[in-house]
Amino acid sequence: MFLYEDLEQIDFSKYKRIVVSYSGGVDSLVLLHALNSITEFKQKLFALHVNHGINQASSTWEKHCENTCSNLGINFVSLKIKLDNQSNASENHMRQARYRALLAWIKKDDVLCTGHHKDDHVETVFFRLLRGTGIKGLSGIKKFSTIKGTDLVRPLLDYSKKDLKFYAKNNKLKWIEDETNEDISFSRNLIRKNIFPLLKNQNWPSYVNALSHLSRRAKEANEILEEVGDEDIKHCSTDTLNRLSILKIKGFSKVRIKNLLYRWISLKTDLDISSHLLDEIYKNILFTKENSDPIVSLGKPGRKDSFQLRRFNGILHYLPLIESDFVKKNETWKWNLSSSLVLPTGVLSIETCSGEGLSSNLTKKRILVKVRSGGERCKPKGRSKSQKLKKLLLEYEVPPWLRNRLPLVYVDNKLAAVSNLWVCEEFTAKRDEKGIVLSWTDTLDN
């Protein structure tokens, strides 16, 4: 049996707004009504309705939700979204579009609540089982989680659909019955309407308890795998968690390596990480030729959470997947050496220091910043002769994906400094002279 007082144990004190994804169905309506019945929650409660515009009754449903919230004294907001292919929109496509709309509206100090219940949880476990999910998938729906940096709470997860309907009828609530819930062309409806009743009426009347038990055990197993993964990441990390030692990784068994990779990547992106991707990383990056430059990527260039993995000098690097690795070769930027310079590939900053860096006298001359075009030479301070920049970059073990992104500082069309790596001897500050020390922060090298 569900009582609204059951929700008082959830700590919402740190949030400015409690946002409920309100479809108009019985689940989200019960959640909304129950939260609104608690005085300390009522003042910051918002109902957020997403109108997909697919069903002919969408506008009627939206108006029903608005009226319900008006009667209950709840803040109501409706969001309209347009799907690319409305007639063939899949369950997953609609879900993704709905969450994009919800998260775009939500602010930093908000919490998002949904009306998922115990039956949803069991259906999810069964659905993922049929799709061949891993241990993490069998854990089912989490009561507390985060999505795109937003806290997500499912307060009704311990209660059945039957419990929620009893609450709704007892409180004389009116909800929307979506006829698409009867459409068994949707996978979840097929499971709910056809498969589960068959299981219950045949030899498995306790299927709910069995699947719930499986989910709990999977959750425990996944927690152990995550703990092991965290320890292995810590063991293999270098100066940053974005770079791991390949030699140390290879010290583990194959299954442990794949668990490490899954945990490492999942901490950095919300994209789905497939077994195929882990196999590709294992084979084509970790166990490939030392002098090769393999790349494994996921997502689309420039999109949030998209990434690429590369190896260099025995280190596995996690990098954002960007539109281009470098700027156009003919681009130039004027600079007066008095403040930071923001470039497409990073930020070039300065500090003053006696006897080091570029000579401060150079501020009176024409200074330009460029990127490599090929054939550049530099004689770093202390060297006996000038050398090709290509050779110097190899010597200093600069990763290949950073070489064409480095800013080159020119004074009167002569190369004076290469990023924060070298100052060409002709342009260095004298011992008793104020110098300008360059600092380069690349957007990839994080």
The structure tokens 């190896």 sit at 311
Number of H helices, E strands in the chain: 15, 21
Cβ neighbors of 166 (< 8 A, separation 6 or more) are: 1, 2
Q: Residue 140 and residue 221: Cα distance in Å, rounded?
A: 13
Per the structure block, which two tokens stand in for 176? 């929307």
How far apart CA 286 and CA 304 sit, in angstroms, is 25
* CA atoms of 380 and 424, how far apart (whole Å): 5
Fold of 4-208: Rossmann fold (3.40.50)
- Crossing angle (nearest 10°) for helices 26-36 and 58-72: 20
Q: How far apart are CA 232 and CA 256, in angstroms?
A: 9
CB of 411 closer than 8 Å to CB of 365? yes
Quote the pLDDT of residue 88: 57
Q: How many CA atoms lie within 13 A of 158 on its CB side?
A: 9
Q: Torsion over CA of 167, 168, 173 and 179, rounded to 10 degrees? A: 180
Q: What is the pLDDT tens value at each position of the chain, 446 positions in all?
A: 999 999 999 999 999 999 999 999 999 999 999 999 999 999 999 999 999 777 777 889 999 999 999 999 999 999 988 776 555 556 777 788 889 999 999 999 999 999 999 999 999 999 999 988 889 999 999 999 999 889 999 999 999 999 999 999 999 999 998 777 777 878 888 998 899 998 888 888 899 999 999 999 999 999 999 999 999 999 999 988 999 999 999 999 999 999 999 999 999 998 889 999 999 999 999 999 887 889 999 998 888 889 999 999 999 999 988 766 556 667 899 998 888 999 988 999 989 888 889 998 888 899 999 988 889 999 998 888 999 999 999 999 999 988 888 999 999 989 999 999 999 999 999 888 888 999 999 888 65
What pLDDT score does 331 carry? 84
Q: Which residue, among 13, 11, 31, 34, has the nearest Cα to 21 in the 3D structure?
A: 31
Single pTM value for the model = 0.80
Give the pLDDT confidence score for residue 89 in this predicted structure.
Answer: 58
Residues 180, 165: Cα–Cα separation, whole Å: 19
List the chain domain ranges: 4-208, 237-320, 333-442
Give the C-alpha separation, 155 to 11, whole Å.
Answer: 11
Q: Which residues pair with 48 in a beta bridge?
A: 21, 77
The closest of 198, 229, 199, 234 to 135, measured between CA atoms, is 229
- Torsion, Cα of 125, 130, 134, 136 (10° steps): -10
Instruction: State the SS3 of 380-428.
Output: ECCCCCCEEHHHHHHHCCCCHHHHCCCCEEEECCEEEEECCCEEEHHHE
Measure the CA–CA gap between 39 and 9, rounded to whole angstroms.
13
Q: Look up residue 169 and give its two tokens.
A: 């009828």
Whole-angstrom CA distances from 44 to 14, 78, 168 are: 11, 17, 22
- The residues with which 153 forms a beta bridge, in sequence order, are 113, 144
Alpha carbon 290 to chain centroid distance? 30
Residue labelled with tokens 């800013």: 407
408: nearest Cα among 436, 383, 438, 381: 438
What does each C-alpha distance from 109 to 17, 41, 74, 99 come to in angstroms? Answer: 7, 15, 19, 17
Indicate if the alpha-carbon torsion angle 54, 57, 63, 64 is positive or negative: negative
Rounded Cα distance, 129 and 123, in Å = 10
Token pair listed for 280: 């590709």
Pick the CATH number of 237-320 from 1.20.59.20, 1.10.10.10, 3.40.50.720, 3.30.1360.120: 1.20.59.20
**DSSP annotation string for 6-66:** GGGGS--TT-SEEEEE--SSHHHHHHHHHHHTSHHHHTTEEEEEEE-S-STTHHHHHHHHH
Cα–Cα distance for residue pair 108/102, rounded to 1 Å = 13
Residues 6+ away with beta carbon under 8 Å from 300: 306, 321
Instruction: Indicate the DSSP class of residue 9.
Output: G
The amino acid that residue 441 corresponds to is T
Q: What is the pLDDT of residue 132?
A: 87
Residue 382 exposed, middle or buried by CB count within 10 Å (0-12, 13-18, 19+):
exposed
Strand residues in 84-242 grouped as ranges (E): 110-113, 144-147, 150-153
